Structures are given as structure tokens and as C-alpha cells.
Amino acid sequence: MEMSIAKVTSQGQITIPADIRKLLGIQPGGKVVFIQDGNRVMMANATIEAFEQMHAAFAPEAGRLGLKEEQDVVDLVKQVRAERRKEAVNADHA
């Protein structure tokens, strides 16, 4: 476990050390999330954290649909788009 130290300003701000920003993929203007666990607080890239939570939430449905690889998702999106285009064409001719 590595440790970095940051000084808190009088306004409650800190500068996240460059090595931590690089590790977490935090870019200027990016957002971080603070996760409290008892008396410890962890910091994560908010975008990545949101994606991981979304991924976990959709995992059961993805399993039900047989989506195991990224290409499975791409193929499903293509299929749904094709079906929607066909429905739109049929609706225009009705």
C-alpha cells in the first residue's frame, strides 16, 4: 500500500497528487467520488465508479440475454437498430 499526502487549504481544498490522478485517470475538470467505509474514506474516479455500478446492476440481465463479450452487445445493438428501422419503414407505408 502506497501513501500520498496532500495539504488541506483554509477553504477545505486539496490538490490530488499527480501520481494518484494518473492512477485514477482523473483529467482536469474531472470528478471524483468519496466513498466512506467506517472511519476511512476512499476516493475514486466518479465516471469509472458510476460505470462499474451500472455494469454490476446490468450483469444479471446481460447474463439472461447471453451477453458475455463486448461484441455480443455490439451485435445486439445492431439487431435492435435494424428492427427499429424496419418498424419505421412499415409505419411509413401503413
Q: Does residue 82 have a pLDDT over 80?
A: yes
- The pLDDT of residue 68 is 85
Average confidence (pLDDT) over 13-40: 94
Rounded to whole angstroms, the Cα distance separating 58 from 73 reads: 12
Pinpoint the alpha helices (H) of the chain: 18-24, 46-65, 70-92
Q: What is the pTM of this model?
A: 0.56
Is the pLDDT higher at 25 or at 94? 25
